[in-house]
Amino acid sequence: MILHSLTIENYKAIERETIEFGETGITLIEGRNESGKTSVFEAFRLLINTKSKSKPRALKESVRVGADSPISISAEMSIGKERIRYSKTYLSKAETSLEFLSQVKSALRDDEAHEYVLAKLEDSANIKLWEKLSLRQDQESTQLNAVDEISSLKQALDSEAGDTLSAADDSLFLQVKAERDQYLGKNGAPIGELRKLHDEVAELTAEFEVARSAAEALEADIDKLSDAAAKRSEKQRMIDDRKKALVVAEEKASLLDKAQRAHEEFAQRSQLAQAQLDNSEHARDRRRELAESVDSSRAHVERTAEAHDSALREEESAKADLGSATKAHAAAEAKARASTTKVSDARRRIEEVEVRKELASRKTRRDKVEELTNRINELNAQKRLIKADESYIERLRSARSSMREADAGLKAGSSLVSVEGRGEALIDGYTIDASKGWSAYAEDPVRLEIGEVTVSVVPPKNAAEAKERFDAARKAFEELLADRDYDSIDDAEDDLKKLGGLNTAIAESTGQRESALGESTAEENRERISDLEAKLAELSDDIENSDSRDDDDVLGKAKTQLAEAEIEREQADSELAGAAGIVNQARIRDAEARSKAASYRESLAELRDAHDRSEASLKDARDTVTDHALEAAFEAAKKSVDDLAGEGEGIAENLDEAKREAQLHDLETTRQALKRHQQVLDDLIRQYNELNADIKAKSEQGYATKKDNAEIALREVQQRCDSMQARANAADLLLTTLDSHRQQLISRYSAPLRERLVRYGKLVFGADFDVSLDEHLVVKERKLDGATVGFDQLSGGAKEQFGLLTRLVCAELVGDATVPIFLDDTMGFTDPQRRQAMAAVLTEAGKKSQVIILTCDEARFDAIGDATQHSMS
Mean pLDDT of 385-390: 87
The pLDDT > 70 percentage for the chain reads 89
CB atoms within 10 A of CB 642: 10
Whether 357 is in a domain gets the answer no
Lowest mean pLDDT among 112-116, 260-264, 325-329, 521-525: 325-329
**pLDDT at residue 164 greater than cutoff 50:** no
Whether 595 is in a domain gets the answer no
Provide CB contacts within 8 A for 776, sequence distance 6+. Answer: 145, 147, 148
Q: How confident is the model at residue 703 (pLDDT cuts 50, 70, 90)?
A: low
CB atoms within 10 A of CB 9: 19
pLDDT one-digit tens code per residue, 615-660: 888 788 878 888 788 778 888 878 777 777 777 777 777 777 777 7
Q: How confident is the model at residue 18 (pLDDT cuts 50, 70, 90)?
A: very high
Q: Which helix (H) or strand (E) holds 454?
A: strand 453-457
Looking only at the bridges linking them, the beta strands covering 2-11 and 14-20 are antiparallel
CB atoms within 10 A of CB 740: 10
Lowest mean pLDDT among 192-201, 304-313, 476-485, 767-776: 304-313
Whether 193 is in a domain gets the answer no
If you ran DSSP here, which 8-state letter would residue 132 be given?
Answer: H
Whether 183 is in a domain gets the answer no
**pLDDT at residue 723 greater than cutoff 80:** yes
Mean pLDDT of 63-78: 89
CA distance 38 to 853: 10
Mean pLDDT of 346-350: 77
Outline where 22-109 has alpha helix (H): 37-49, 57-60
Provide CB contacts within 8 A for 636, sequence distance 6+. Answer: 280
Amino acid at 554: V
Which of 554, 652, 606 has its CA nearest to residue 349? 554
CA distance 670 to 381: 89
Amino acid at 402: S
Mean pLDDT of 513-517: 82
Domain end marker among 405, 424, 459:
459
Q: What is the pLDDT of residue 344?
A: 77
Amino acid at 868: T
Beta bridge partners of 17: 8
Provide CB contacts within 8 A for 602, sequence distance 6+. Answer: none
In degrees and rounded to multiples of 5, residue 18 shows phi and psi of -120, 125
CB 773 within 8 A of CB 766: no
CA 855 to chain centroid: 11
Mean pLDDT of 825-842: 82
Which of 81, 82, 113, 75 has its CA nearest to residue 97? 113
Beta bridge partners of 770: 783
CA distance 71 to 49: 15
Beta bridge partners of 867: 26
Q: Please, what is the average pLDDT of the chain? A: 80
Q: What is the pLDDT of residue 544?
A: 47
CB 87 within 8 A of CB 72: yes
* Region at 464 (left for phi over 0; alpha for psi -120 to 50; beta for the rest): alpha
Provide CB contacts within 8 A for 387, sequence distance 6+. Answer: 484, 485, 486, 495
Q: How confident is the model at residue 748 (pLDDT cuts 50, 70, 90)?
A: low
CB 94 within 8 A of CB 81: no
CA distance 389 to 632: 116
**pLDDT at residue 163 greater than cutoff 70:** no
Whether 451 is in a domain gets the answer yes
Higher pLDDT among residues 758 and 544, named by residue: 758
**pLDDT at residue 547 greater than cutoff 50:** no
CA distance 553 to 312: 65
Whichever domain contains 118, its CATH number is 3.40.50.300
Q: Which helix (H) or strand (E) holds 187?
A: none
CB 12 within 8 A of CB 36: yes
Q: What is the pLDDT of residue 398?
A: 92
Q: What is the pLDDT of residue 126?
A: 63
CB 425 within 8 A of CB 419: yes
Check the CA dihedral 508-511-515-520 and report its sign.
positive
Whether 88 is in a domain gets the answer yes
Q: What is the pLDDT of residue 98?
A: 94
Lowest mean pLDDT among 165-169, 244-248, 689-693, 755-759: 165-169
* Region at 188 (left for phi over 0; alpha for psi -120 to 50; beta for the rest): left
Residue 761 lies in domain: 2-163+748-871
Q: What is the pLDDT of residue 799?
A: 83
pLDDT one-digit tens code per residue, 438-473: 777 676 777 877 777 777 777 777 777 888 888 898
Q: How confident is the model at residue 96 (pLDDT cuts 50, 70, 90)?
A: very high
Length of the chain: 873
CB atoms within 10 A of CB 447: 12
Whether 834 is in a domain gets the answer yes
pLDDT one-digit tens code per residue, 560-604: 877 777 787 787 777 777 777 777 887 787 787 778 778 877 887
SS (H, E, C) 597-636: HHHHHHHHHHHHHHHHHHHHHHHHHHHHCCHHHHHHHHHH
pTM: 0.40
Check the CA dihedral 861-863-867-873 and report its sign.
positive
**pLDDT at residue 144 greater than cutoff 70:** no
Cα–Cα distance list, 315 to 149, 327, 405 (Å): 100, 20, 122
Mean pLDDT of 701-719: 73
Provide CB contacts within 8 A for 546, sequence distance 6+. Answer: 352, 539, 540
CA distance 79 to 120: 7
CB atoms within 10 A of CB 859: 10
Higher pLDDT among residues 794 and 414, named by residue: 794
* Region at 869 (left for phi over 0; alpha for psi -120 to 50; beta for the rest): beta
Mean pLDDT of 839-852: 83
Cα–Cα distance list, 624 to 113, 162, 620, 823 (Å): 94, 127, 6, 99
Q: How confident is the model at residue 165 (pLDDT cuts 50, 70, 90)?
A: very low
CB 662 within 8 A of CB 252: yes
For 822-870, the DSSP string reads EEES--TT--HHHHHHHHHHHHHHHTTSEEEEEES-GGGGTT-SSEEEE
If you ran DSSP here, which 8-state letter would residue 185 be given?
Answer: -
Buried/exposed code over 153-180 (b: 16+ C-beta within 10 A; e: otherwise)? bbbbbbebbeeeeebbeeeeeeebbebb
Q: What is the pLDDT of residue 546?
A: 46
**pLDDT at residue 202 greater than cutoff 70:** yes
pLDDT one-digit tens code per residue, 353-378: 878 777 888 888 888 888 888 988 98
* Region at 91 (left for phi over 0; alpha for psi -120 to 50; beta for the rest): left
pLDDT one-digit tens code per residue, 395-440: 989 989 998 888 888 777 777 777 888 878 888 777 888 777 777 7
CA distance 462 to 413: 6
Q: How many helices (H) does the chain have, and how many strands (E)?
A: 18, 19
For 658-716, the DSSP string reads HHHHHHHT-HHHHHHHHHHHHHHHHHHHHHHHHHHHHHHHHHHS-HHHHHHHHHHHHHH
Count: domains in the chain? 2
CA distance 256 to 826: 77
Counting Cβ atoms within 10 Å, is residue 57 exposed (0-12), middle (13-18) or buried (19+)? exposed
Provide CB contacts within 8 A for 336, sequence distance 6+. Answer: 569, 572, 573, 575, 576
Q: What is the pLDDT of residue 138?
A: 57
Helix axes 192-385, 667-700, angle to 10 degrees: 120
The percent of the chain in helix, strand and coil, each rounded to the nearest 5, is 70, 10, 20
CB atoms within 10 A of CB 145: 14
CB atoms within 10 A of CB 223: 10
**pLDDT at residue 856 greater than cutoff 80:** yes
Q: How confident is the model at residue 109 (pLDDT cuts 50, 70, 90)?
A: very high
Whether 33 is in a domain gets the answer yes
**pLDDT at residue 504 greater than cutoff 80:** yes
| Side-chain half-sphere exposure of 786, counting CA atoms within 13 A | 0
